[in-house]
């Protein structure tokens, strides 16, 4: 299918580069010292954060995602890096997780909680955490209130639950978590490791799929997102939130 061309391109580019790994490590460093923690990585993709958590924690990581090719890639990577005994990858939807209550010391979610919504995720995932366990999420945020209409409308369609950092901090407190720390990722991370590479690959795709109007339309949609980021990057970005049950 034509949409698979763009979906695969996005997944390839979203594999974590060195800057993204640095911020995963920064978020993990805000946790207290944990001895061989059991970690649930929700929406693991091909396992960039999963493998970084394996390097950082000496714990057991259970990684879940609904895209089997990504799961297969993670399994291969874990085997290559010698983490097969500490990384378990499962094809499972975040909407249908059936782990026992209080199974995990840490729940981790980088760039995936938007699928279920921050508030619903914080509510539903809480039961899987042990008493005083930790939850870390990396999510899209408004960097300023009252964004211009064009970008507000775009994100209202893409992710209706997007809020400012301040609003998310209020949600965290309201839902019974204690904030451990939060920080915004610099805009250069998004450009250097996502939008910049995406723009270059789209130019090549235009040539390769020049005979497919559907692929060309999908490319135009991706290019619009890049244009909007150029115009409005001061208004939105992403942030980590680390909290305790």
CB 200 within 8 A of CB 145: no
Adjacent-strand bridge partners of 226:
none
User: Is residue 45 situated within a structural domain?
Assistant: yes
- Write out the residue range of the structural domain in which residue 82 sits: 17-143+160-186+236-244
Q: CA 62 to CA 27: how far, in whole Å?
A: 18
Q: CA 103 to CA 114: how far, in whole Å?
A: 23
Q: What is the CATH number of the domain that holds 29?
A: 3.40.50.150
User: Is residue 1 situated within a structural domain?
Assistant: no
Look up the pTM and report it.
0.92
Check residue 3 and give its pLDDT: 58
User: Is residue 130 situated within a structural domain?
Assistant: yes
pLDDT tens digits, the chain, 245 residues: what are they? 555 766 767 766 666 667 788 999 999 999 999 999 999 999 999 999 999 999 999 999 999 999 999 999 999 999 999 999 999 999 999 999 999 999 999 999 998 999 999 999 999 999 999 999 999 999 999 999 999 999 999 999 999 999 999 999 999 999 999 999 999 999 999 898 888 988 988 888 888 888 988 888 888 999 999 999 999 999 999 999 999 99
User: Is residue 230 situated within a structural domain?
Assistant: no
User: Is residue 25 situated within a structural domain?
Assistant: yes
Check residue 144 and give its pLDDT: 95
User: Is residue 122 situated within a structural domain?
Assistant: yes
Task: Name the percent of the chain in helix, strand, coil, to the closest 5.
Answer: 50, 20, 25
Instruction: Specify the 3-state DSSP secondary structure of 42.
Output: strand
User: Is residue 211 situated within a structural domain?
Assistant: no
Q: CA 86 to CA 84: how far, in whole Å?
A: 5
User: Is residue 54 situated within a structural domain?
Assistant: yes
Adjacent-strand bridge partners of 137:
109, 241
- The number of folded domains in the chain is 1
Cα atoms found within 13 Å of the Cα of residue 162, Cβ hemisphere only: 25
């Amino acid at each position: 299918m034509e949409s698979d061309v763009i979906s695969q391109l996005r997944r390839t580019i979203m594999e974590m580069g060195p800057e993204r790994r640095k911020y995963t490590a920064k978020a993990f460093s805000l946790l207290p010292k944990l001895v061989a923690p059991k970690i649930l990585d929700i929406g693991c993709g091909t396992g960039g954060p999963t493998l970084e958590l394996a390097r950082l924690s000496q714990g057991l990581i259970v990684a879940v995602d609904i895209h089997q090719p990504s799961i297969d890639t993670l399994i291969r990577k874990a085997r290559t890096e010698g983490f097969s005994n500490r990384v378990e990858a499962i094809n499972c939807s975040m909407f249908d997780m059936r782990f026992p209550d209080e199974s995990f010391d840490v729940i981790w979610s980088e760039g995936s909680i938007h699928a279920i919504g921050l508030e619903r995720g914080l509510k539903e995932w809480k039961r899987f955490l042990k008493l005083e366990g930790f939850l870390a999420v990396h999510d899209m945020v408004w960097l300023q209130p009252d964004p211009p209409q064009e970008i507000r409308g775009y994100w209202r369609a893409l992710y209706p639950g997007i809020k400012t950092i301040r609003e998310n901090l209020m949600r965290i407190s309201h839902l019974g978590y204690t904030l451990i720390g939060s920080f915004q990722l610099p805009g250069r991370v998004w450009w250097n490791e996502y939008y910049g590479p995406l723009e270059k690959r789209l130019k090549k795709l235009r040539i390769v799929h020049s005979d497919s109007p559907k692929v060309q339309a999908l490319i135009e949609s991706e290019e619009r997102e890049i244009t909007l980021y150029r115009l409005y990057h001061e208004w939105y970005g992403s942030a980590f939130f680390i909290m305790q049950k």
